[in-house]
Structure 1
Amino acid sequence: MANKQKAKVTKRESLKRKREVASDIRLKKKIKIDLLNKTNNDVNLIISKHVTTEQKKVELHDIDIDNMTSGMNDAEIKLQTLKVAVLPPPTVPLRVYSNLPLTLPSDLKEKEISLTEYRPMESTASEKTSEESPISPLQNFVNFELRGHRVIEINHFFEQLIKISGHESLFQCGLHSMEIKSEKNNSFISQFLIQCKMCKQQFKIESSNLQLNKLAVEGVIAAGCGHAQLKQISASLDIPIMSEHTYKINQDEVFDEWEVTAWESMKLAGEREREAALKENRIDKNGIPIIDVILDGCWCKRSYRTNYSALSGAAAIIGRRFGQVLFMAVKNKYCCICARAEKLNEVVKQHECFKNFDGPSTAMESTIIAEGFKKSVEIHGLIYSRFIADGDSSTYSRILATRPYTIVTVEKIGCKNQRQRW
């Protein structure tokens, strides 16, 4: 049984050698015919025409033809160039370095071209070991350490790959001849420098044309998280971690955009309430539309019937008919930069201070609501004649004290659900 298997292996090897010899002979005949017809006198074009990837163009280890061909005449030089270029199997593309002109002399047709004089050098021990071990497909594509995962916009990324795969060259280049030289990373966005190993052209490819860093920060904030949670998510996915500085820059941009969007949304909500009031003919003596609203507040610290010491609070006014926000604001009693400067008896440096309230925490809601009533005509052209709220009497007292409208007196409607809670 063992003898039969050995015979089969020997027969396959013999057939393989015969096919290689036949392939060399056919290639030799094609090149000689092309040279004898004088249809193409450029060695590079002849080689690229006949020595295709199927016949294995090879890359020699930086062969210097100028030194190798010293003392030869032009015909012998061109013959030696062909011997170097037209070779049997090994596996990497041809790269021959020479400053010699490559126009063929007329007497080259008399020379014999040999394809068998070159034999590849024996592999070293390390090379044999690497051949025996499995090799990653990216090993020939990346010539530096590239680890982890990246976020890419799939259509944008493949459009760029398709574009560079068809770049103009005389060497039949393609994606198979590309290698990644470097990566410029900015958190979730990467820019790769890719070079063609044949023609040495370089290209830059971006992982996405979107603002991924800003989108990531926006999503984390919307989920109620921050930079620490984003770091944990990135580490778990093996994605480059965003620095705190980059997070802060994108966070400020997100907040600015959200503020603009919020005001635009409130303006649209006011216009919608105004149109509905005009259709119902709910207007005062001056023709200003009158509507009903719902209002409530919240604090950063739970203070139900005890310890009203929250440092930040917010409140909102909502249109009753459509349930959309017409006004909202936030009051802060604390700024860390101001507090630190005061503690150290230092002059406060210039900064963006968010402290905008000095009164008791319980007064935050009523202050914001009264401010919203006073600006209702200016912002929306509306009068809030009635409002629905909880049983907190301080808010209603504050509204009456500020007297936001000269003709209309604001009325309060108690919330049934809130009364049951009390």
Structure 2
Amino acid sequence: MEKIRDKGGRFISKGKQSKITSIESNRQKNVTVEVPSTNSQSDPNDPPPDPNDDLQDPIHILEHSYAYDPSINGHCDEEVVPDENEDTSHLIEWDTGRRILELGFVVNKLIEGCYKCKHSLNLRDICGEKRYGLGSLLHIKCTLCSTVNYVPTGKRHSRSDNNGIRAFDVNTKVALGMLHAGIGEKKLSMLLSVLNIPPLSKTSLKKSEREVGRAVEDVAKNSCKEFATAEVESFGNDDLSVSFDGGWQKRGSGRSYSSLSGHAAMIGKETGKCIAYATRNKFCRVCERAERTKKDIPEHDCRKNWSGSSKAMEPDMCIGMMKDLQDSNIHIGSIIMDNDSTTVARARAEVNPALKKQCDRNHTLKQFTNKLYELKKSKNYKELNSKTIQHLSKCFKYCISQNENDPSGMKKNLEAIGRHVYGDHTFCESWCKYLASPLTYKPIQLPYHRYLNNLDLKSDLTSLLSLYISQADKLVDLGSTQPNESLNNTIASKTPKQNFYSGSESNDFRVAAAIAQKNLGHQYVTEVNERLLLSPGEITSSNARKVDLKRKKTKETEDTRKKGHRKRWTSIDRRSQQK
């Protein structure tokens, strides 16, 4: 085998030389495919051919104009020029592996028959294939006139950013499925390879992802506008009450936050839907590559919009969303969030000085539990073990739940917690089982079923509870950021923290998909398809309805259980008052 050199004058290894030889051989096969002459006419009475058209057949003009082999005076969509670092999946023969076909569409094309003689075609007469991602053009030879016809395996559509060149619907939908399922190019390729289906190239998949992602963002933003208007109508005035929370695409240690991207959302208290969201990105792969190679930055959709610390992303996103809503004459009067004072301080200084803050119930309970563990660690109290802390946290939770809008009751029950674990039930109410059976009661929730007796611990515990007693007015009106936590879980399922998607638009696309799913349910997939002028399909729509219905029933069951739990506690209170 004669050695050859590349464009730089360097010798090419045997492996690269063999790959180039196979590519050239494949090109020769495409050139030798029988193609009808542009001057041939099946009927002398037909009009003369137009010299500006490559092929005169209307089927070719309407269905195949975008995807001819370049060697046959045509142009193809989504073709990737092979290089030495890519695999050779594009060299797979037509009879190797599996393919995805739209059966009804292909059957109709076969019935339409040969574009030249109209004789019906048969799949057993396939003589070649040109793949474009998961779609293909099957080269089928007519048994009557020996003309090679190009039959697509599925429907196609035009892309606005593709110079009118049409792409297979299946490639666009697999990109949407990738965003919806929260997987990336590698896992998608693994899935297809296990099914023995030739995978898409990275460039083709990225092209489809960008097409789908912009449609997903449009659907998410429109849904936020609709529910912001609905929130104003249901709340009755412009000063809305919303819950706010943010998150990062990289896990924080609690002391250090170094994520390159973050997200945040505002959810209406009345509708429970997202009315605004934002993302912050500190890195762009294209800009970084241009800076590293000292070249001009190419034109691209850059999503880098933050250069500060990762911890400062959350206050900035909150202020940005409040200002955007204010431009739409929607004002935020009350915000439910964790105990981050920085965000509220900046929002009051820059947007609304009269902004009210409601603490989150779950964050307040978590803060109380953390302070007990800090007390245990600093003073090394043996009685303050995990069982004791769990019991104190449970009592604190009951106190918060049973004294909503009752400051005096909140203060009394908070003071009762510190006395209760030491055997003093003077301030206890219906929640304490000692009142029902004083003679037989044992504190089974405490270690060794005994009351605590460490006086130093009692003093520290009393001091800790005194801090919360002084804030009783805030504790009686706590909000919940649980909808935001649920949204963060959905975002994490679409942008797993172990993967990095912030180098391109992919992270923003996936956050938008989670927002759309929060507002519209799984039916958002149908809306994205319709925005792309694609048929969503009965199976897609049916499965989305089924998943949304199951979620609705689950939520109704949970609400019924909570309602029954509240009724049970109310009846216990009434019986204790009668006694």
State the TM-score, normalized to the length of structure 2.
0.42
1:194 to 140, 145, 151: 140
- Write the mapping of 1:4-403 to structure 2, written as runs, cut at 5 A: 146-164=95-113, 174-175=120-121, 179-209=125-155, 211-277=169-235, 282-283=236-237, 289-342=238-291, 346=294, 348-352=296-300, 353-379=302-328, 381-403=329-351
- Any conservation in 2 of the 1:166–1:174 contact (CA below 8 Å)? no
1:145–1:202 CA distance, 2 compared to 1 (3 A): closer
The CA deviation at 1:233 is 1.6
- Any conservation in 2 of the 1:290–1:385 contact (CA below 8 Å)? yes
C-alpha offsets along residues 261-291 of structure 1, whole Å, 9 cap, x if unaligned? 11111111112112223xxxx33xxxxx232
- Any conservation in 2 of the 1:332–1:357 contact (CA below 8 Å)? yes
Secondary structure at the aligned position of 1:314 is classed as: strand
1:208–1:268 CA distance, 2 compared to 1 (3 A): same
The CA deviation at 1:166 is 12
C-alpha offsets along residues 14-41 of structure 1, whole Å, 9 cap, x if unaligned? xxxxxxxxxxxxxxxxxxxxxxxxxxxx
- Any conservation in 1 of the 2:110–2:122 contact (CA below 8 Å)? no
- Any conservation in 1 of the 2:111–2:120 contact (CA below 8 Å)? no
Distance 1:370 1:179 in 2: 64
Secondary structure at the aligned position of 1:198 is classed as: coil
- Any conservation in 1 of the 2:176–2:209 contact (CA below 8 Å)? yes
Distance 1:339 1:166 in 2: 51
- The aligned counterpart of 2:356 is 411
The CA deviation at 1:339 is 3.9
The CA deviation at 1:167 is 9.3
1:165–1:198 CA distance, 2 compared to 1 (3 A): closer
C-alpha offsets along residues 369-395 of structure 1, whole Å, 9 cap, x if unaligned? 01111111323x311111111111111
Secondary structure at the aligned position of 2:272 is classed as: coil
Higher strand share: 1
Secondary structure at the aligned position of 2:113 is classed as: helix
Distance 2:342 2:256 in 1: 17
Distance 1:313 1:177 in 2: 51
- Any conservation in 2 of the 1:389–1:413 contact (CA below 8 Å)? yes
- Any conservation in 1 of the 2:112–2:120 contact (CA below 8 Å)? no
Please, which runs of 5 or more residues in structure 1 have no aligned partner? Answer: 1-143, 284-288
Secondary structure at the aligned position of 2:311 is classed as: helix
- Any conservation in 2 of the 1:178–1:196 contact (CA below 8 Å)? no
- Any conservation in 2 of the 1:160–1:205 contact (CA below 8 Å)? yes
**Aligned alpha-carbon RMSD (Å):** 2.5
C-alpha offsets along residues 143-167 of structure 1, whole Å, 9 cap, x if unaligned? x852211101122122222332999
Q: Which has the higher contact order (CA 8 A, sep 6+)?
A: 2
The CA deviation at 1:305 is 2.0
- Any conservation in 1 of the 2:322–2:351 contact (CA below 8 Å)? no
Please, which runs of 5 or more residues in structure 2 have no aligned partner? Answer: 1-92, 157-168, 368-579
C-alpha offsets along residues 244-273 of structure 1, whole Å, 9 cap, x if unaligned? 111121121122111111111111111211
Secondary structure at the aligned position of 1:200 is classed as: coil
C-alpha offsets along residues 116-175 of structure 1, whole Å, 9 cap, x if unaligned? xxxxxxxxxxxxxxxxxxxxxxxxxxxx85221110112212222233299967xxx655
Secondary structure at the aligned position of 1:194 is classed as: strand
Secondary structure at the aligned position of 2:317 is classed as: helix
Distance 2:181 2:296 in 1: 34
Q: % of aligned pairs identical?
A: 28
Distance 2:123 2:204 in 1: 36
> Considering only CA atoms, is the larger Rg found in Structure 1 or Structure 2?
1
Query: How many residues end up aligned between the 2 structures?
Result: 262
Distance 2:111 2:177 in 1: 31
The CA deviation at 1:209 is 0.8
1:347–1:181 CA distance, 2 compared to 1 (3 A): closer
Secondary structure at the aligned position of 2:333 is classed as: strand
C-alpha offsets along residues 368-421 of structure 1, whole Å, 9 cap, x if unaligned? 001111111323x311111111111111111011124xxx72111111111111
- Any conservation in 1 of the 2:94–2:128 contact (CA below 8 Å)? no
Amino acid paired to 1:222: H
- Any conservation in 1 of the 2:264–2:277 contact (CA below 8 Å)? yes
1:420 to 359, 365, 376: 365
- Any conservation in 2 of the 1:310–1:361 contact (CA below 8 Å)? yes
The CA deviation at 1:340 is 4.7
State the TM-score, normalized to the length of structure 1.
0.57
The CA deviation at 1:222 is 2.3
Distance 1:179 1:309 in 2: 59
Secondary structure at the aligned position of 1:297 is classed as: strand
Distance 2:310 2:218 in 1: 27
Secondary structure at the aligned position of 1:361 is classed as: coil
- Any conservation in 1 of the 2:263–2:278 contact (CA below 8 Å)? yes
